[in-house]
Amino acid sequence: MLGGKPHSRCGSSVGKERMKMVRLRDLAFALRTPYWKPGDDFLERILEAVRGRVEDGDVITVSEKAISTAMGNIVDEDGIKPRLSAKLIAKYWVRYVWGYLLGPACHLKSETIRRIRSYPAEEGSVHKEAALRYVGPIYALHWGSEGGMDASNLPYSYVALPLKNPEETARRVRRYIKDKLGKNVAVMIVDTDKTYSIGKSIHLSPRPSSVRGIRTFLGPLAYLMGRALKLKRRSTPIALAGIRMPADLALEIAETAHKLRGSGAGRTVWEMAERFGVSLTGVTWRMLERVEHKPIVIFKFSKRRLRVKGI
């Protein structure tokens, strides 16, 4: 909550009472686009997708990973030499601590636990070394999705990194749409990593987020607590530009966007590899281009008087 008052910067209420009579899913639709590759102009990709579809007051959600990929904010793990610490994390911490203690305590699916227990020592060590370098040791101790790192829906040994300044990126998207289309919209950047909620006011994310009301100080401990206690979990809004809203509503929007977008080639690298019948690093750009991608979801709040502040 924003100081306990669910109001936008314009003073328009966007709290739960406003949404009682309508489901968020009924206000939203996902946009299919070509697969975004490094070097693509993500601003133009977004503009092409939303042109003729947005109105003043709409909220546009965009996948963080899609933006990171287009921006080249990815790392090729091929060639990274793991240190002893990364080898120990992959071979012992993930396989045994997560596989036999933390995984069951977090109520992970049996298939997920099976995969964790057979976590690949070689590729896993390289991945953990990348996590140690780019997001830090605390996040590297997570069995997957370390601090927002994500290898799903990417080819070969590439891994997407979390955006360095997601708030500024969201503002750039918003300004671009305003300049090119003359539409005053809000922009939310979202990630599928879950935030865990206690009631309507305490929201704990295991990865960084700049959205007010989402607490990130616990790091991966938020994941352990949330899964072990079976707290309500929803996809995470990473940044929000153009409007203020209660964190609980932002989380509902992020989760609805995730459900409408789907998982592309797979939720994990294991699912992706199984889908194409290749090794964990055998997926190619061409394979991914054949998969349906929906990185953008538009929420039509404009007709419900959810006002967006001016630039």
Domain match, 92 and 225 both: no
Of 14-18, 109-113, 280-284, the least confident:
14-18
Average pLDDT value for the chain: 90
Same domain as 289, residue 179 = yes
User: Does 148 share its domain with 169?
Assistant: no
User: What DSSP designation does 25 have?
Assistant: G
Check residue 302 and give its pLDDT.
63
Q: What is the per-residue pLDDT across 251-277, written as a single tens digit (0 to 9) for each?
A: 999 999 999 999 888 888 989 999 999
- Judgement on whether residues 228 and 182 belong to the same structural domain of the protein: yes
The least confident of 22-31, 38-47, 67-76, 106-115 is 22-31
Considering the domain boundaries, does residue 4 fall inside one? no
- φ, ψ at 250 (rounded to 5°): -60, -40
Could you tell me the CATH number of the domain that includes residue 244?
A: 3.30.1330.100
5 is a domain residue? no
| DSSP tag of 99 | I
Q: Encoding tokens for residue 83?
A: 């240190």
Same domain, yes or no, for 83 and 104? yes
Report if residue 309 sits inside a domain: no
CB–CB of 131/160 below 8 Å? no
- By DSSP bridging, strand 214-215 and strand 202-204 are parallel
**192 and 154 belong to one structural domain:** no
Helices (H) and strands (E) in the chain, counts: 13, 9
- 235 strand-pairing partners: 194
Q: Confidence class of residue 79 from pLDDT cuts 50, 70 and 90?
A: confident
Same domain, 195 and 293: yes
Of 124, 142, 163, the residue nearest 220 (C-alpha): 142
Q: What is the pLDDT of residues 207-263, one digit of tens each?
A: 999 999 999 999 999 999 999 999 999 999 999 999 989 999 999 999 999 999 998
pLDDT tens by residue, 83-96: 999 999 999 999 99
Instruction: Please state, in angstroms and as integers, the Cα–Cα distance from residue 86 to each residue in 131, 133, 231, 268, following that order.
Output: 9, 10, 30, 21
Residue 7 lies in a domain: no
What length is written for the chain? Answer: 311
Look-up: residue for tokens 């992706």?
272
| Reported confidence tier of residue 40, pLDDT bands at 50, 70, 90 | very high
Structural domain that includes position 65: 16-71+165-304
pLDDT at 4: 34
pLDDT computed for residue 15 by the predictor: 47
Instruction: Provide the Cα torsion 130, 135, 139, 141; round to 10°.
Output: 20
Cα→Cα distances 26→6, 292, 296, Å: 22, 22, 16
**Domains: count for the chain:** 2
Closest to 212 in 3D by CA, of 169, 167, 172 = 167
Whether residue 169 is found in the same domain as residue 254: yes
The verdict on residue 9 lying in a domain is: no
